[in-house]
Structure 1
């Protein structure tokens, strides 16, 4: 009687590996390169294994989006915990979480791929808008000013400019910009 070698199943590790590969492929080669075959091959996982976790390309992109939003939510929540001033707190936390992505190359790279997908995939745009609407609704009493909205939009613009490397900006200028945006949330 033969005993087959069986490796221990680690579905969460496999799922995370698939998401990381999809993010890397999107960043390096563009969204069209993210096919189920390419991701399974690059991850060293059978196509059936990939389909177990993500039954379609859209499910894979949604999984990547959800994973990154989870990290982003955690970063925002950490910033919220550190800020005792209620007025504009969510917008400051959003600004800091966005601008801190630059210092986390792995997440910045993964977000680059998702940002491209957000531009082309209506379902992901709706998911992002719904997520942001829910978060903003939590802080409607403290972050409803036009200044708070301007700061969040400026944070998005800075993030996008850094993703596509469209603006040359030295660290001192960037730091002064972020500080000035943070001041706008305080309503002074």
Structure 2
């Protein structure tokens, strides 16, 4: 009896393996390592993702989707706890920014190698367009909303750029200030 093909499951397994390999090896991940981690032949990987960039682009898109789902859940929790007060979406964004998360770290690692490839980043930029529209619909002045979101983005980008890390007291002060700006 021939084995049933389930390309969606195979792609999901490859993306999960790529995320794991990125966490372990950083941006130097190899297709061989991803195939090995997924228990799939390299030819099988190449059937679904013909290049390393295609795999990283797909991983970036999947992690963006996952982040957006977690953000939607955090926003719903914020609304449930405090009602539809202004700044609720941004408070959820702040909460996710300052909560350590392996998938967030994998997202950063997946996106970093693509920085020098504008064509590859274009699709990921479109997938993240909600980061421009959602803050503006959160009841705060647009400049304040974007300043909060960009401060959050700058906080986690520090890991990618080698900026000095804030100590715990500084992180707490930053989070409290950003949250206060949402009220």
TM-score of the alignment, normalized to the shorter chain, above 0.5: yes
1:43 is matched with which residue? Answer: 38
1:169 is matched with which residue? Answer: 166
Q: Within the alignment, does 1:94 sit opposite 2:90 as a pair? A: no
**Shift in Å at residue 8 of structure 1?**
6.8
Please provide the CA RMSD for this pair: 2.9
Distance 1:60 1:140, change over 3 A: same
Q: Within the alignment, does 1:157 sit opposite 2:182 as a pair? A: no
CA distance in 2, matches of 1:174, 1:12: 40
Q: Secondary structure at the match of 2:129?
A: helix
**Shift in Å at residue 182 of structure 1?**
1.4
**Shift in Å at residue 16 of structure 1?**
2.7
CA distance in 2, matches of 1:124, 1:89: 32
Q: Is contact 1:91-1:152 (8 Å) kept?
A: yes
Q: Is contact 1:89-1:185 (8 Å) kept?
A: yes
**Shift in Å at residue 69 of structure 1?**
0.8
**Shift in Å at residue 164 of structure 1?**
5.7
Distance 1:39 1:127, change over 3 A: same
TM superposition score normalised by structure 1: 0.75
Q: Within the alignment, does 1:133 sit opposite 2:132 as a pair? A: no
TM superposition score normalised by structure 2: 0.77
Unaligned runs of 5+ in 1: none
Q: Within the alignment, does 1:181 sit opposite 2:174 as a pair? A: no
CA distance in 2, matches of 1:125, 1:181: 28
What aligned pairs does 1:59-78 form with structure 2 within 5 A after superposition? 59-78=54-73
Q: Within the alignment, does 1:23 sit opposite 2:22 as a pair? A: no
- CA offsets 1:37-74 (integer angstroms, 9 cap, x no match): 44223433112321332233232112101211111101
| Higher deviation after alignment, 89-98 or 165-174 | 165-174
Q: Secondary structure at the match of 2:136?
A: coil
**Shift in Å at residue 158 of structure 1?**
0.8
Q: Is contact 1:90-1:136 (8 Å) kept?
A: no
Count how many residue pairs are aligned between Structure 1 and Structure 2.
Answer: 178
Higher Cα radius of gyration? 1
Distance 1:164 1:38, change over 3 A: same
CA distance in 1, matches of 2:74, 2:86: 14
Q: Is contact 1:27-1:112 (8 Å) kept?
A: no
